[in-house]
Amino acid sequence: MRGCVDRHRIDVRGMSYAVRVHGGVAASATAVLLHGFAGSADDWREIDEPLAAAGVRTIAIDLPGHGGTDAPTDLSRYAPDETADDLVSILSALGVGRAHWVGYSMGARIALRTALHAPARTAALVLESASTGIPDHDARAERRVRDEALASEIETRGIEWFVPHWESQPIFATQASLPAERQEAQRARRLRQRPEGLACSLRGSGQGATPDLTPQLGAIACPVHLIAGAEDAPYVEHARRIAGALRSASVRIVPEAGHNVHLERPEEFTRALLDHLASVRREDPAGAPSSLPRSLSCP
């Protein structure tokens, strides 16, 4: 049976977020899905139905400056701590008490921030192609300069220039072998982005603008599962390094996949996610309530 899909506009501290809920409130678990840079909530649609069939409700959120969410000019509203605070408010508005936070790339860094910011609202983390940021101060400053240059180019040359430029990055080379319809669907979603939103996101929440989270990893007590594509060697290394710094972590390396595992190998990604959620339930069968008394999502 297909899951129920419900779209919301949720206002948090003057910013309107676009949120897509898939599955009913009777689900056994709730997963919040956080996309990567230049992505949107719709990037996760291919895994919606398998998760719903397994009893997992998903809440996919357009992050600041992306998709249908507002793109404020105040760069402080893009800071990961600010976004984490907003995401917890969105959970409350939807009547969700505790969730599994699933993040890809930029979204993985924000998921880490959210776990640190609101541990009581975090059942587990699933981090795909994750990094903690750039540890070295000088390297981070250099990245900030590059991010600013890219942000200025996006504003000047527009989204039609940015999308093929972004797709030509070596980190996405493995996607060239995907079926044409899957590549076109992703390109169409990217072309709907707003130049000003992407530029502000780079300036406010890019790796050049935010400190490295490595020193704080030891404070994360919830189970963490790290997923990386075998063809994405730098992020395989990141996954293993992050896992070594956490209290409770596991790593899954997906063969024949690059940076975006959920796009390139959706079935393997979904299985890894469901396996982790099942292991969390086995270790903590009672857990904390996943729902608050009030819910805006579909029955």
Angle at the Cα of 109 (from 153 to 123), degrees rounded to 5?
A: 150
Residue 152 has pLDDT above 90, yes or no: yes
Strands 15-22 and 5-12: antiparallel
Whether the CA torsion 24, 267, 35, 62 is positive or negative: it is negative
Q: How far is the C-alpha of 154 from the C-alpha of 37, rounded, in Å? A: 13
Q: What would the pLDDT profile of 33-89 be if each residue is shown by its tens digit?
A: 999 999 999 999 999 999 999 999 999 999 999 999 999 999 999 999 999 999 999
Ordered by where they begin, the domains of the chain are: 5-134+211-283 (3.40.50.1820)
Residue 218 has pLDDT above 80, yes or no: yes
Q: The pTM is what?
A: 0.94
pLDDT value for 288: 47
Whether the CA torsion 113, 119, 122, 125 is positive or negative: it is positive
pLDDT value for 298: 36
Q: What would the pLDDT profile of 256-288 be if each residue is shown by its tens digit?
A: 999 999 999 999 999 999 999 999 987 765 444
pLDDT value for 28: 83
Which letter does DSSP use for residue 8 in this model?
A: E
pLDDT value for 281: 84
Question: Percentage of the chain with pLDDT > 70?
Answer: 93
pLDDT value for 36: 98
Cα–Cα distances in Å, from 25 out to 53, 85, 124, 253?
13, 23, 19, 32
pLDDT value for 297: 35
